[in-house]
């Protein structure tokens, strides 16, 4: 049922990105989950890749906030749009030195389910277009 | 009445692949608002969408657009488009044409009022794919 899948994706956002609990991915994904999401040199292709992305964001930004901008489902697929905001005052991000400036960017993700587990994800972000906010 | 998926498929066929300008008025409300950035081109209405297609048509031959995924619910539909073409016409994003093939994707959400698109937002990965036409 689509509503159950929506709840699972909401819990992913809450646990992984808001509570910084990346190991939660292991509970909601198949072991061989495949992901296709590219941020600059970071090619995210599995559960560990998604955990790495979360770690990088936390290492680079303080006040990191994640909001669901859109979420809907059809059959075994869920579409998620997230808005990330944060202050770049920690480590270098995509080659940019931290200057204490705020950034805001979006990600679009599709999650494909087998039963109630995510087995495939593909996504995109506009962060490259937003790097001028950090200059 | 067409489903949201059918409307998206018509857009791909008529607007993207047949370059049929009449379909802009059929598929979009007059005050349609769009939020998508393609380099310096900030697409925020129907006229900007036409400009984007002009840019692509002026730069690429064999331009093809396929819908790889459509997910719809009530008054909205997500669509993942794959664009491909040969860069053998005008400059594209500062790149000289060298006859090379490019492929890029755009992720889009279309919001509907009745059977017309009234709002659009999207992201493309074309910047990541420019190395294909170097």
Q: What ipTM is given for this predicted complex?
A: 0.89
Q: Give residue for tokens 């590219």.
A: A38
Domain hosting residue B73, numbered range: 4-133
**Torsion sign over Cα A96, A97, A101, A106:** positive
Range of the domain at A117: 2-134
B74, closest residue in chain A (CA to CA): A72
CB A49 within 8 A of CB A37: yes
CB atoms B123 and A108 under 8 Å: yes
* pLDDT for A37: 80
Contact indicator for A44, A57 with CB cutoff of 8 Å:
no
- Total structural domains within chain B: 1
Q: What is the pLDDT of residues B123-132, one digit of tens each?
A: 999 988 899 9
DSSP B99: S
In this predicted structure, the answer to whether residue A65 has a pLDDT above a threshold of 90 is yes
Optimal mutation site among A108, A112, A130, interface B, most CBs of chain B within 10 A:
A108
Bridge partners (DSSP) of residue B60 are B87
Q: How many CB atoms lie within 10 A of CB A102?
A: 13
What is the maximum alpha-carbon separation in chain B? 45
Mean predicted confidence (pLDDT) in B101-121: 95
Q: What pLDDT is recorded for position A13? A: 95
Q: What pLDDT, in 10s, does the model give residues B42-74?
A: 778 898 889 889 999 999 999 999 999 999 999
State the CATH number of the domain containing residue B46.
Answer: 3.10.450.50
Residue B72 forms contact with A (CB below 8 Å): yes
Chain centroid to CA B120: how far? 11
What is the pLDDT at residue A51?
83
Number of domains chain A contains:
1
Structure tokens at B23: 């379909």
* CATH for A33: 3.10.450.50
Of residues A77, A78, A106, nearest to B123 (C-beta): A106
């Amino acid at each position: 049922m689509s509503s159950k899948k929506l709840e699972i994706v909401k819990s992913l956002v809450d646990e992984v990105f808001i509570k910084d609990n990346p190991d939660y991915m292991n509970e909601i994904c198949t072991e061989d989950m495949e992901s296709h999401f590219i941020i600059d040199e970071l090619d995210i292709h599995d559960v560990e890749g998604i955990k790495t992305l979360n770690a990088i964001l936390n290492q680079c930004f303080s006040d990191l906030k994640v909001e669901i901008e859109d979420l809907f489902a059809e059959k075994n697929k869920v579409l998620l749009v997230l808005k990330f905001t944060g202050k770049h005052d920690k480590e270098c991000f995509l080659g940019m030195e931290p200057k204490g400036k705020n950034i805001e960017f979006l990600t679009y993700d599709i999650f494909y389910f087998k039963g109630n587990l995510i087995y495939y994800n593909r996504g995109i972000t506009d962060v490259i277009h937003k790097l001028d906010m950090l200059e | 009445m067409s489903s949201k998926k059918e409307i998206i498929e018509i857009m791909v066929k008529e607007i993207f692949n047949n370059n049929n300008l009449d379909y802009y008025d059929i598929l979009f409300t007059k005050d349609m608002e769009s939020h998508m950035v393609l380099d310096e081109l900030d697409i925020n209405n129907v006229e900007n969408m036409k400009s984007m297609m002009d840019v692509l048509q002026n730069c690429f031959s064999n331009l093809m657009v396929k819908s790889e995924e459509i997910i719809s619910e009530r008054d909205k539909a997500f669509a993942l488009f794959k664009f491909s073409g040969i860069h053998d016409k005008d400059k594209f994003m500062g790149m000289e044409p060298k006859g090379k093939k490019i492929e890029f994707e755009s992720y889009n959400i279309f919001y509907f009022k009745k059977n017309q698109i009234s709002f659009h937002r999207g992201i493309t990965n074309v910047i990541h794919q420019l190395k294909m036409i170097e």
